[in-house]
Amino acid sequence: MTVFAQWSIRWRLTGWYCAVLIPALLVLGTFVYLLVANTLAREVDARLSTTAQRVERAIRVVPSYPFPWENVVLPDVNVFSDPDTFLQAVDLSRRVVVSKSRNLGNQALPISASTLEKAAEGQRFYETLTVDGVAIRLYNVPLMLDGRLIGLLQVGSPLTHVQQALQKLRWALIFGSLGMVTVTAAVGWWMANKALRPIDQIAQVAAEIQAGEDLARRIEPPPTRDELGRLVETLNSMLERLETAYRNLAAAHQFQRRFISDVSHELRTPLTTIKGNVDLLYRMYVGRSGKGASGEESVAGAADGLAGDELDMLRDVRSEVDRLIRLVQDLLTLAQADAGVKMMLERVAVADWLPDSLRRAERLPRSEAVAFDVELEEAVLTRQHWANVDALQQLVYILLENAFKYTAQGKVTVKAREVDGGLELAVIDTGIGMPPEVMAHIFERFYRGDPARSTSGTGLGLSIAEHIIRAHQGRVDVTSREGEGSCFRVWLPLEPSCLASTGGL
C-alpha cells in the first residue's frame, strides 16, 4: 500500500489495468486451452471408435469347431486404416497378432497386462501409451463369439498432431497474452496521461503562482465544462478571493508600517527634548548635592529643597524616558527593515568591532554574582567580512543584555572562533534558561517569555538581532534548558582567508 501510494496516478491506473487484465487472461487462456485439448481428444477418440465399429461390422463368422480363429474371418484391416490410424487384431488364446495394418510395418501395437485383463472382462476402453517417445491413443475392442472372448481389436492413432497443435496453441496464448498486457499497459498509460494532462497543467500553473507569489495570475480554463472545468473555475475564484484578501492585508500592513515609522519619527524629537531636560534637572540637583563617599548619587539633597521621594520620582522619569527612547529606536529600526531599507555594509576586520563592543557591553547592568568571561580566538579577529559595525555592536549589546538580565548568578561567557568559514559568536549564560514553548517564539516581535514582566524589556531585542543577522547573511541557533542556562550561537560569513586560498604557510 505504502509503496503503491507513492506512485503517480498514471502508474497506479496502468497498474490497475494490468492487475485486472492479467488474471482475466490467465483464466481465459486456461479455459480455451482445456476446451481445445478436450475437443481434440474427443475427436481422436470418436475417429478411433468409428473405425473400430466399421471393422467390427466387416468381421464375418463362419461356424467351425473347435478352432475359433478359423471360424472368424477378419477383413483386411488395411482397408480401414489411414496413415494416422493403426489397426491390430490379437488372438487372445494364443496371444498372437493375427492381423495388422500395413502402416505398422514390422512393429506392433503394445499390449500391456492390464489391457489383457480389461479385455478379458469384455470391456471396451481407451488408453494412452507411449511407444518410442510417441504418445499413442488406443481403442481396445474385445471380439466375442457366442459369448466367448476370442480376440482383441486395437485401433490406435499417434497423438503427435494433437500435441503439436496444443503446443502451438500454448505459445499463441502465452505470446498473445503478453502482447495484450503490453498493449493494454501502453494504452492505459497513454489514456491516463491524456486524462491527467490538464491536471498537470493546473498544478504547474498553481506552483508557478505560488513560486512567483503572483496572485493576479489565473489558470486558463479548459474549453469543456466538465469536472476539470469546474475545478479550474473553483481554483480561479479561490485565487481571486486570496488576491483581494492579500491586497487588503498588504495595504493594512503598509499602513501599519508607515504609522509606526511616522509615530516613531514624531516621538523621537519630543522624547530627546524631554530626556535633555530631565538629565539637566537631575544633574542640577544631584550635582549640587554631590556624591557620597561611596560615589553614589542617592545622597542627593533633601537639604537643597528636593525631598528624597521627589528625587526618586525624577530618577524614575529619567529611566522611563530612556526606555521610551530605546523602544522608539527599536521600532524605527524594525520599520526600516520592513520597508526594505538595505543595511549599509563595509569591509571590516572582526577586530574593528568585536573587542570594542564587548568592552562597552561589559558595562551593562548585571548582578554582582555574575562573572563575565571572554574567549576570543586571535586568528578570527584578523579576518575580514562585510559588516555594519553599529548594527553588530547593537547585536552584541542585545545578546549580552539578555544574558545579564536573565542570569541572577553564575557566569556569562562570550566565545568567538572560526567555524565553517564564518565567525561563530556564542553568548552562553548559566541563567534561568527557557522552556521549549518560550524558545519557539523568542524572535517574534513584542514577545516576552516572562508573563509577569518582572524584568525590563520591550520584547523587540531578539527581533532586531535576527534582522541584523539576516542582513549579514548569517544565522542564529539557540539552545537552552530551563533552570540551567541558554546559549545563543550566531554565525556570520567571513571573507575567504588569504592563507586558506594560498594553501597556508
**Residue 431 lies near ligand ADP (rule: CB under 6 A):** yes
CB-CB contact of 149 with 69 (8 Å): no
Of 296 and 437, CB closest to ligand ADP: 437
Taking CA 290 as the corner, what is the angle to CA 289 and CA 293, rounded to the nearest 5 degrees? Answer: 125
Can you say how many angstroms the Cα of residue 124 is from the centroid of all Cα atoms in its chain?
A: 71
Nearer to ligand ADP, 328 or 434 (CB): 434
Instruction: Give the helix, strand, coil percentages of the chain, each rounded to 5.
Output: 55, 20, 25
Instruction: Single out the residue of 151, 466, 486, 490 in contact with ligand ADP (rule: CB under 6 A).
Output: 486
Among 142, 156, 188, 449, binds ligand ADP (CB under 6 A): 449
Nearest to 205 by CA among 190, 191, 222, 188: 222
Contact 115, 95 (CB under 8 A): no
Phi then psi for residue 390, to 5 deg, are: -60, -45
Q: Hey, what's the cell of 122?
A: 469384455
Q: Residue 408 CB, nearest distance to ligand ADP (Å)?
A: 11
Interface with ligand ADP, residue 461, by CB under 6 A: yes
d(CA 87, CA 45): 14
Partners of 156 in beta bridges? 86, 138
Residue choice 11, 69, 372, 447 for contact with ligand ADP (CB under 6 A): 447
- Rg of the chain taking only CA atoms, in angstroms: 53
Cβ count within 10 A of residue 457: 18
CA–CA distance, 138 with 157 (Å, rounded to integer): 7
* Minimum gap (Å) between residue 461 Cβ and ligand ADP: 3
Question: What DSSP state is assigned to residue 447?
Answer: -
Q: Considering the complex, what minimum distance in angstroms separates the CB of residue 295 from ligand ADP?
A: 29
Q: How far is CA 82 from CA 60, 103, 254, 419, in A?
A: 22, 8, 105, 99
Among 40, 410, 450, 493, binds ligand ADP (CB under 6 A): 450
406 scored as a contact of ligand ADP (CB under 6 A):
yes
Using alpha carbons only, what angle is made at residue 224 by residues 222 and 227, rounded to the nearest 5 degrees? 90
Nearer to ligand ADP, 476 or 494 (CB): 476
Q: Does residue number 77 form part of the binding site for ligand ADP (CB under 6 A)? A: no
Angle 440-446-452 from CA coordinates, rounded to 5°: 85
Whether the Cβ atoms of residue 213 and residue 229 lie closer than 8 Å to each other: no
Question: What cell does 47 get?
Answer: 475417429
C-beta of 271: minimal distance to ligand ADP in Å?
19
Of 5-13, 217-225, 247-255, 460-468, which segment contacts ligand ADP by CB under 6 A? 460-468
Question: In 59-159, which ranges are continuous DSSP H helix?
Answer: 68-71, 113-120
Q: How far is the CB of 398 from ligand ADP (least distance, A)?
A: 6
Residue 459 near ligand ADP by CB under 6 A: yes
Residue with the shortest CB distance to ligand ADP: 449
Least distance CB 317 / ligand ADP (angstroms): 21
Minimum CB separation from ligand ADP for residue 318, in Å?
19
We find the least distance from the C-beta atom of residue 395 to ligand ADP, in angstroms, to be 11
Number of residues near ligand ADP (by CB under 6 A): 22
- Piece of the chain touching ligand ADP by CB under 6 A; list 93-101, 128-136, 377-385, 402-410: 402-410
Asked if residue 420 lies in contact with residue 448, where contact means CB atoms within 8 angstroms, the answer is no
- Under the criterion CB under 6 A, does residue 413 sit at the interface with ligand ADP? no
Instruction: Rule CB under 6 A: choose which of 150, 403, 414, 428 binds ligand ADP.
Output: 403
Q: Between 169 and 438, name the residue whose CB sits nearer to ligand ADP.
A: 438
Strand partners, 12: none
Q: Does 448 bind ligand ADP (CB under 6 A)?
A: yes
* Span near ligand ADP by CB under 6 A; candidates 26-34, 260-268, 349-357, 433-441: 433-441
Site residues for ligand ADP per CB under 6 A: 402-403, 406, 429, 431-434, 438, 442, 447-450, 457-463, 486
